[in-house]
Amino acid sequence: MAHMSANVAETKPVESIQVEHLPDVKDPEDIVAALEELLKMSKDQVDVKNGMQIPMHMVCDVPLVHRLIPGLQELASKYHIGNFVIVRATGERVFESMPLFTRLGMHLLFYGGAPVKLLHNHTIAGILKDLSIRQGRVYDAPESVKSIPSFIETYAISLDDLERRDITQYTCFNDFFYRKLKSGARPVANAPDPTGICSAADCRLTVYPSVSAATQIWIKGAKFSIPALLGVKPRSRKARMFVGGSVAIFRLAPQDYHRFHSPIDGVVGEVVDIPGQYYTVNPQAVNEPGFDVLTDNRRCVLYMTHSQSGAPIAFIAIGAMLVGSILWTAGGQKGATVKRGEELGYFAYGGSTIVAVFPRSLIQFDDDLLMNSATPIETLVRVGDSLGRSVLPQAGFDAEEIMRTADVGPDFSARFAAGWTRFVDKLRMS
């Protein structure tokens, strides 16, 4: 199981990942060699706990992993390796253990990412991309079904909500990984309210009413910006439409249901595919000033129109380490009308992230999500849970007004930052 109670987790410090924490690993090539061996093992191993999917708190029980990565057992004995989250349904603070492949991917990132050359002049970025594609092929193979039972056991995955509860009906590991849920398994909160906006995924969620707030608290990459995320020029109409906009970040872990759904009642627009890397999107990477994983990684941008307000929404599906594919279902049908909670697409194997960008003054996020995000700590939510509500009147989005005020620049950012700080202080006192 990947979760543990806060009381158990607090018996040891949480690792802040550093290269020096694996002193016996002298070269990044050693980690790459270990990942290669773990990938080969995934073709033959029945039990995922003997490979790269094992949660870090379990590695002490797997001698084979210790042989591949010297010092890993000592690291896992000394630290808890992962992240705290808040379970929204209960308010409980729990600890989620990081999978082994994520920890090894972080180790490679701390060697410097793409500029580091190794293994016949390949970059770390190139090697992670290659590993991700090859792991996807392994889990597309029919024989990979043998790993499904141990994956369910390792991550304590409930079968109760699945459309196909009989695991013998799945044709490969990936077929189970992007499993469907039965109808009604994820009801939409406040469904009759046309202003409602909901969670797009079963995920760990952070929300910020502006990019300025997000970069102050959570996204520390030096190059992060909305134009960079969307893959457009800073002065383009698309970029300017989201100046001062709000951001919701939905992070999916390997054990999660990996189909993503519409957060709005709206109309599907174009999808833009942006090539990129396959770095881990774990919070320790997103929170690290030296990394720009959200804007460096491969991603697909879906543009939507919010039915109630007429506002544009950018819905960005971001691949990550060991994510084989981003696939669209209703999200690939340009011109289609979708309701909140309807499926848009899915990710194949691995961890992954969605970022939803809303124009300025459209959404008021729920107070508990804002409070947790300001702490900062992610909130564990499910598809359909309330994200917030539109505060614009019917058809109240004025694109030309947004464009006219898109050039207010630093003065607006400074005013918003001050307002955000006052808002958080007010929440904490209430």
List active site positions: 202, 261, 352
289 within 8 A of 215, measured Cβ to Cβ: no
Residue 113 · residue 124 · CB < 8 Å: yes
Q: In angstroms, rounded to a whole number, what is the distance separating the alpha carbons of residues 349 and 372?
A: 28
End-to-end CA distance of the chain: 35
Alpha helices in 79-167 (DSSP H): 100-109, 124-140, 148-154
Nearest C-alpha neighbor of 122 from the set 36, 53, 39: 36
Q: CA–CA separation, 412 vs 389, rounded Å?
A: 23
**CB 46, CB 145: distance < 8 Å:** no
Residue 211 CA, chain-centre distance (Å), reads 17
- CA atoms of 277 and 282, how far apart (whole Å): 14
DSSP 278: -
Residue with tokens 């000592």: 74
Residue 406, Cα to own-chain centre: how many angstroms? 28
Is residue 20 a contact partner of residue 113, using CB atoms and an 8 Å limit?
no
Three-state DSSP state, 67: helix
Both structure tokens of 302: 């879906």
- Name the one residue in this structure whose structure tokens are 């691995």: 350
- Length of the chain equals 430
Give CA–CA dist 96/284, Å, rounded: 13
How far apart are alpha carbons 361 and 358 in whole angstroms? 8
- C-alpha 167/C-alpha 178 separation (Å) is 13
Give me the torsion for CA of 285, 127, 62, 70, rounded to 10°.
Answer: -80
The alpha-helical segments, DSSP class H, found in 236-331 are 237-241, 283-286, 293-296
Nearest to 370 by CA among 205, 211, 242: 205
Please state, in angstroms and rounded to a whole number, the distance separating the CA atoms of residues 338 and 55.
Answer: 37
Residue pair 397/359 in contact (Cβ under 8 Å)? The answer is yes
